[in-house]
Amino acid sequence: MAFWLIKSDPEEYSWDDLNRDKFTVWDGVRNYQARNYLKSMKAGELVLFYHSRISQAIVGIAEVIRTAFPDLNADEPDWYSIEIAPLRSLKKLISLEHIKATDALSKLPLILQPRLSVMPISEDEFKLILELSN
């Protein structure tokens, strides 16, 4: 069981959009590292949903409902999509500022690799974020 974090610019596709849609195809990833993480996601694994730019906070928990399949919008082969569905919103948003100020979260790729849009997160980190959001 792995845990993940994905980023979305809420002006493009927000947590509210996902809740309205009930589920969505997560496509358009064009970064090899992010692609490899996408491919290793399994159904039922949990995904923190992070808003970049305007909001800059983890806002909810989603679930992988379909594992990697070819990204139909890609010009080239070997790009993949998954499907996710919203599970629940966090009671309290976990802001980037808060994450940066929390020692136990300072190793997150979110901080070390600011431009990576799909990343793994450890179980400890995941649990801590849930605690902080209560």
CB of 49 to DNA, least distance (A): 13
For tokens 């919203």, the residue is 86
DSSP letters for 39-107:
HT--TT-EEEEEETTTT-EEEEEEEEEEEEEE-TT-SSSS-EEEEEEEEEEEEEEEEHHHHHH-GGGTT
Task: Choose one: 36-44, 51-59, 66-74, 101-109; the region binding DNA (CB under 7 A).
Answer: 51-59
- Verify binding: residue 7, DNA, rule CB under 7 A: yes
Q: Verify binding: residue 53, DNA, rule CB under 7 A.
A: yes
Distance in angstroms (rounded) separating the CA atoms of residues 64 and 33: 18
Q: State the minimum distance, in angstroms, from the CB of residue 31 to DNA.
A: 5
Judged by CB under 7 A, does residue 102 bind DNA? no
Pick the binder of DNA from 3, 4, 27, 52 (CB under 7 A).
52
Site size toward DNA (CB under 7 A) is 18
Residue 107 within binding range of DNA, rule CB under 7 A: no
Q: What is d(CA 46, CA 91) in angstroms, rounded to the nearest whole number?
A: 17
The correct pick among 19, 40, 56, 102 for binding DNA (CB under 7 A) is: 56
**What strand order describes the sheet that includes 46-51?**
24-26, 80-95, 57-70, 46-51, 3-8, 118-121
Q: State yes or no: residue 59 binds DNA (CB under 7 A).
A: no
Q: Which residues bind DNA (CB under 7 A)?
A: 7, 9, 30-33, 52-54, 56, 96-97, 110, 113-117
